[in-house]
Amino acid sequence: MANRIDEIDATILELLQERGRMKRSAVAEVVGLSVSAVSERMRKLEDRGVLESYHAVVDPKRLHFDITAIIRVSVDGSEHYPAFVEQASSMDEVLELHSITGDGSHVMKVRTKNTTTLERFLSRVQGISGVSSTSTSIVLSTFKETRALPTEPMDLFEYDEDDA
Amino acid sequence: MANRIDEIDATILELLQERGRMKRSAVAEVVGLSVSAVSERMRKLEDRGVLESYHAVVDPKRLHFDITAIIRVSVDGSEHYPAFVEQASSMDEVLELHSITGDGSHVMKVRTKNTTTLERFLSRVQGISGVSSTSTSIVLSTFKETRALPTEPMDLFEYDEDDA
DNA sequence: GCTGAAAAGCGGCTGGC
DNA sequence: GCCAGCCGCTTTTCAGC
């Protein structure tokens, strides 16, 4: 029942979080196993849902996405939440959307090209029904931005996909 | 001087943001070019710094990272900023660190395993010199979490790496 | 900047431990 | 769970347009 991430799995996860297109042969060399052993471990990590996905990251500045903002949104009445979440999630500018404790009901991370497009975006958000206020913080500098989690040997437990 | 992302480059970026380990041959099939043409475009996008990196994403829940928090930090006196940024960036729990406008001087996205580890993390942050207050919002649900930017044909301009 | 072909490298599979 | 070997597929390189 309780599956396990051992030292080697932890290293594989670390390598792939850092270099998502790393070749199996290169991984094998680092961890000191054969390519087929690494392949099987990667396949199992994917099957178990530990390795969730792989993505390329594009440099926002090169594509002229010069504004990053953290926006707190207050949605009044939880009956408005589902429609708000659906509409906000579908907007390309919204990179992250979470419901939170504390001031406001939701927080979003947003990227747009400039202040004009940000302003238009904010208007659209404020137009969603239930949204009573927004509070925008513009990002001045980004010092760290990753999704990499620290990995160490540990037990895993079965986990129902539908809960995710 | 002004380089360009055409329709095909935009499609390649879109595909790779979505599926970071997609094979060149599969990309070639979608965009209707030969494998070598796609390879060369990918290489150039990497060289130009548009394709910045590739990463695997690990499911935090499977690794028992059950707490995500957005923490606003007030660092008093900008002379404390560099040391704060350096120390905070080096913490594994910190996935994102930005300086911002508005309340507080910085905001962090943090993942920890449970409330106990979150509490210990907050103590450490509050112990960094210059930190006068923190305000923590716990994430209840995450509805969207990506770094994918919308891609469309556009001109690129030269860009000094050192500015990044 | 693209194609197509040849050579090299990689990944999936099987059998054995 | 791991390894080695085989074989098909993918990637790289290069000549030619």
Per-residue tens of pLDDT for chain A, all 164 residues = 568 999 999 999 999 999 999 999 999 999 999 999 999 999 999 999 999 999 999 999 999 999 999 999 999 999 999 999 999 999 999 999 999 999 999 999 999 999 999 999 999 999 999 999 999 999 999 999 999 999 999 998 766 655 44
Rounded distance in angstroms from the CA atom of residue A85 to the C1' atom of nucleotide C12: 42
The mean per-residue pLDDT over the stretch B76-100 comes to 97
pLDDT of residue B164: 47
**pLDDT for B2 beyond 80:** no
- Please answer yes or no on whether B58 and A85 come within 8 Å at the CB atom: no
> What is the rounded distance in angstroms from the CA atom of residue A151 to the CA atom of residue A153?
7
Q: CB of residue B70 closer than 7 A to nucleic acid strand C? A: no
pLDDT in the model for residue A1: 53
Which nucleotides on chain C have any atom < 7 A from a protein Cβ?
1-5, 9-14
Confidence at residue A3, expressed as pLDDT on a 0 to 100 scale: 87
Identify all chain B residues contacting A149, using CB atoms and an 8 Å cutoff. 58, 60, 63, 65, 92, 111
pLDDT > 50? residue B87 = yes
Name the minimum distance, in Å, from the CA of B154 to any CA of chain A. Answer: 8
- Give A-chain residues touching B107 at CB under 8 angstroms: 70, 137
Q: Is strand C within 7 Å of residue A35 (CB)?
A: yes
For residue B89, what pLDDT band results from cuts at 50, 70 and 90? very high
Please name the residue that has the structure tokens 């979505």: B18
Q: Does B149 have pLDDT greater than 80?
A: yes
Q: Is the pLDDT of residue B75 over 60?
A: yes
The domain limits of chain A are: 4-56, 60-138
CATH class of B4-56: mainly alpha
pLDDT reported for residue A164: 47
Q: Using the predicted structure, report yes or no on whether residue B152 has a pLDDT greater than 50.
A: yes
Q: Which of B50, B95, B99 sits opposite A59 (nearest CB)?
A: B50
Question: A90 vs A5, A21, A94, A95, CA distance in Å?
Answer: 35, 28, 8, 10
Q: Could you give the CA distance from residue B149 to residue A66 in angstroms, rounded to a whole number?
A: 12
Q: How far is the CA of B50 from the C1' of D13 (A)?
A: 24
* Spatial separation of the C-alpha atoms in residues B85 and B105, rounded to whole Å: 11
Whether any strand C atom is under 7 angstroms from the Cβ of A23: the reply reads yes
Residues of A in contact with B99 (CB under 8 A): 139-141, 143
pLDDT value at position B42?
A: 98
For residue B65, list chain A residues with Cβ-Cβ distance below 8 A: 149
Dihedral, CA of residue A30, residue A32, residue A34 and residue A38, to nearest 10: -60
- pLDDT for the residue numbered B3: 87
Question: What CATH architecture applies to the domain A60-138?
Answer: 2-Layer Sandwich (3.30)
**Count of beta carbons in the 10 Å neighbourhood of residue B54:** 20
Phi, psi of A92 (to 5 degrees): -60, -35
- Model confidence, pTM: 0.95
Report residue B157's pLDDT band, with 50, 70 and 90 as the boundaries: confident
Residue of chain B minimizing CA distance to A158:
B62
Using an 8 Å Cβ cutoff, are A137 and B100 in contact?
yes
C5 nearest neighbour residue (CA to C1'): B36
